[in-house]
Structure 1
Amino acid sequence: MTQTVEPGDLIQLSSPLPRQLAIVMRQQLPSLAKEVIEEIRRAIPAYGRPIKGPYVQALQIGVERALDQFVEQIASPGAPSDRYKETCRRLGRFEAQEGRTLDNLQAAFRIGAQVAWRRVMKTGPELQLSSTVMAQLAASLFAFIDELASLALEGYLDALPSEELEEHRRRLLQLLLRTPAASRRAVAELAQIAEWEVPDEVTLVAVPAGSRVVRASLDQDLLADLTGDEPHLLVPGRVNEDRLRMLAEALPEGRVVTGLSVAPVHAADSLRWARQTLPLVEQGVLSDGPVTRCEDHLITLWLLSDPAMVDQLARRHLAGVSRLNSVQRDRLLATLHTWLTTRGTAAEIAEELDVHPQTVRYRMRKLEGTLGDRLADPDARFAIEVVLRAMWLRERGAGR
């Protein structure tokens, strides 16, 4: 069992080790650091990401500096340790900013100690180290691991936001999303307590449930509720290119949707539109990349906002066509859609569909006989075009 130590107690828990031991150990550091990192990445999924990622780079730097410091303390017990201590605290702060607990980092410390001790057990007899020196080395090593954990915890706690301030901001976000809208006075009073300036416009962001969030990448002026079944963010103002990059970095594994930019009193509408759009992204109807903006897809959102209504419109305006077999129906609807959107000649429509003009003329006569006077009625034509567009979008989402 290891002892709990305070930062700065490293090595002094045991008798001084032979300083010449540091010369031999320093030769082992490059290969030992590589072995420690490989074992940690293999055992802890969070550290198994691409080696160029900030999470793994922070781990690599931490391991190298920790091992170097351990050997330096043996060579010169009074050597400065400020740089190493700040690295440990930074690792703890990084975990807090990423929105994680210290479990992974503490597990990494334990794995590092195990790998290092296996190396000691292998090389100790080769170097003819006495049992006394081996015992001292073991005590120093595990005291060192305790100090790593203590320093990381210190940095972790320093990086955690004030729980009271976070609670005020969560309450403020809930207040802004209340329906009917809360009074401006109530919002202003709570915003003052939450140390948040109420902007002229806000943009709500819908986040897929279970998304990993890199909290360190989130701008400090955002309001967030990422713990529920429908996580979301509030961005003050419009989502410009800088905000888009920020969202992509903060939510690297999730496809998020930004609602429309609205006055704070309409924040609930912005979130509702974003949430309505999120399933369309997940189904493949929309595929804009890591961040989808509602404002780029308003017609699609409107067309697919009420699928049952689209079905009713289809029954009323396309009843005759729906009775045909699937091949005839698809060909006629494709011709009808092209005619409605281009209003071209038979030759132009034939070129668009890659068929003979006579085929287009035949299909149009078939459509006129099936749909009757609807093609001559502007309102009916508009309804049919809307239905066809909605049907095409739904089939796109279904992969057809």
Structure 2
Amino acid sequence: MTGQSADEAVESTMLPSQLAQIMRPELESVADEIVAEIRALIPEYRRPLDGPYGKSIKAGVRHAVSLFVAQIADPSASTKHAHEVHRRLGQYEMREGRSLDTLQAAYRVGARVAWRRIMKIGRNSGFSSTVMSQLADAMLGFMDELASVALDGFLEAKACSADALDTWRRRLLQLILERPAVPPEAIEELAQLVGWPTPKTATPVAVRPLVPLRGAQRPTLDADVLAELSGVEPRLLVPGVVTRERIAALEQALPRCRFAVGPCVPLDSVADSLRWARKALVLVDEGALPPRRVVWVQECLPAVLLHSDESLAQQLRGRLLTALDGFTARQRERMLETLRAWLDAQGHVLDMAERLSVHPQTVRYRMRQLEAVFGDRLRDPDARFELELALRALPSAPWRNGAVPRPRTTPTPT
């Protein structure tokens, strides 16, 4: 005999509804297994799945599995809704900055996992190899169809976006800054897509527009600089160490902007460095750092550290100022100024007098007042350290921002 046996023909006829009934209870676990394997095998998909990103991935997989089973039960089942889901999924993948290769790899992984589960069910249910071969053809054709729809969506989104490369570059910068950190392979893949040579170290630059940036403004930046200037916290990322020449170019490209240059760090530490740079900009706004156009965080790390916990700094300030409650506001300012000079000059009276532009006798008089207030704390190294921290944490200390020294006066008991 050259054709199918009667039993096989009946089995082939009965298969669709039987398989659909068997597969329906498996839909949720199959979808979860596909998502898990895609994330395990493709680094770009290893991000947390809460939020719009995860919902899009899960919805696409569940619609695909459900539709395949539905078509087994009823070949005339409509594919319109599933096609729309996967077209939108392709558009989303392009806007997220992923490549066509990544998208197609995800569909291949999905087909492999689904087929593996169908093979297991088929064997357990006693279906013949002929029937399983037919199912394989149907599965591959079905996945090719959905992958083609997603590809169309991807290309549509790309064609509608003249800023596709900029979108991918901004996405790359976002990936580098994400916490928890994304796998290095995901960053490397997107960096290759946009033609950005992945450096071992990089320098983030926090940007503060001194006047609003216009939406259509497109600054001319070096090709290796990643930029996100449209958000509430504009930032740049420069490979390697930022030189003075590079900063001069940024100043020219972004006039009327202030920059805080973070320390040059390995790529997986860029988010921390950018956080310090943003804090430096805040300290400039508060008057804790001089209002320079370019703030180099490496030069003001102690201030950034001291102000990293404002509530704790406030506790330090409170302890210092409470000790001076018995003085008037003007006297308290002089005491704080004198205490800082005493700490800076390590108690040398003549040096203090020079710093304060007052007579040495005035310094001695003020120091007697401070000793009456602080007592043994002035001779205790730990207490002196705390006093200096508190002084530097004051929001508007008289020595900040280039305060002009008062002229030297004759001795006075003030």
**In structure 1, C-alpha distance between the alignment counterparts of 2:349 and 2:329, rounded to whole Å:** 23
Q: How many residues align?
A: 241
2:168 aligned residue: 168
Q: Which amino acid aligns with 1:189?
A: E
**Are 2:292 and 1:286 aligned?**
no
Alpha-carbon shift at residue 311 of structure 1 (Å): 2.1
Larger Rg: 2
Which of 357, 365, 370 is residue 367 of structure 1 equivalent to? 370
Q: Residue 190 and residue 296 in structure 1: after superposition, are their counterparts in 2 closer, same or farther (change >3 A)?
A: same
2:28 aligned residue: none
**Are 2:304 and 1:301 aligned?**
yes
1:201-350 pair list within 5 angstroms:
201-208=201-208, 210-211=212-213, 215-287=218-290, 289-350=292-353
CA offsets per residue over residues 289-347 of structure 1, 9 Å max, x none? 43222112212222233333222112234422133211221222211111111024334
**In structure 2, C-alpha distance between the alignment counterparts of 1:233 and 1:394, rounded to whole Å:** 32
Greater CA drift, 390-399 or 327-336: 390-399
Aligned-residue sequence identity (percent) comes to 45
What SS does the aligned partner of 1:233 have? strand
**In structure 1, C-alpha distance between the alignment counterparts of 2:396 and 2:306, rounded to whole Å:** 9
What SS does the aligned partner of 2:264 have? strand
**Are 2:407 and 1:381 aligned?**
no
Greater CA drift, 187-196 or 342-351: 342-351
- Checking the alignment, whether the CA contact within 8 Å between 1:338 and 1:349 is kept in structure 2 is yes
- Checking the alignment, whether the CA contact within 8 Å between 2:200 and 2:266 is kept in structure 1 is yes
**In structure 2, C-alpha distance between the alignment counterparts of 1:176 and 1:243, rounded to whole Å:** 21
2:63 aligned residue: none
CA offsets per residue over residues 339-362 of structure 1, 9 Å max, x none? 111024334323432333332222
Q: Residue 264 and residue 162 in structure 1: after superposition, are their counterparts in 2 closer, same or farther (change >3 A)?
A: farther
**In structure 2, C-alpha distance between the alignment counterparts of 1:221 and 1:240, rounded to whole Å:** 14
CA offsets per residue over residues 233-276 of structure 1, 9 Å max, x none? 11111111221111101111111222111111011112111111
2:195 aligned residue: 195
2:69 aligned residue: none
Q: Which amino acid aligns with 1:307?
A: E
What SS does the aligned partner of 1:322 have? coil
C-alpha RMSD of the superposition: 2.8
**In structure 2, C-alpha distance between the alignment counterparts of 1:315 and 1:255, rounded to whole Å:** 32
2:154 aligned residue: none
What SS does the aligned partner of 1:255 have? strand
Q: Which amino acid aligns with 1:180?
A: P
Q: Residue 237 and residue 317 in structure 1: after superposition, are their counterparts in 2 closer, same or farther (change >3 A)?
A: same
TM-score, normalised with respect to structure 1: 0.55
TM-score, normalised with respect to structure 2: 0.53
**In structure 2, C-alpha distance between the alignment counterparts of 1:350 and 1:205, rounded to whole Å:** 41
1:77-88 pair list within 5 angstroms:
none
- Checking the alignment, whether the CA contact within 8 Å between 1:252 and 1:290 is kept in structure 2 is no
What SS does the aligned partner of 1:266 have? helix
**In structure 1, C-alpha distance between the alignment counterparts of 2:366 and 2:317, rounded to whole Å:** 19
**In structure 1, C-alpha distance between the alignment counterparts of 2:325 and 2:213, rounded to whole Å:** 41
What SS does the aligned partner of 1:208 have? strand
2:91 aligned residue: none
- Checking the alignment, whether the CA contact within 8 Å between 2:188 and 2:198 is kept in structure 1 is yes
1:101 aligned residue: none
What SS does the aligned partner of 2:213 have? coil
**In structure 2, C-alpha distance between the alignment counterparts of 1:309 and 1:255, rounded to whole Å:** 28
Q: Residue 286 and residue 336 in structure 1: after superposition, are their counterparts in 2 closer, same or farther (change >3 A)?
A: closer
1:11-50 pair list within 5 angstroms:
none
**In structure 2, C-alpha distance between the alignment counterparts of 1:355 and 1:293, rounded to whole Å:** 34
CA offsets per residue over residues 131-189 of structure 1, 9 Å max, x none? xxxxxxxxxxxxxxxxxxxxxxxxxxxxxx95332222121111100112212112111
Structure 1: runs of 5 or more not aligned = 1-160
**In structure 2, C-alpha distance between the alignment counterparts of 1:330 and 1:216, rounded to whole Å:** 46
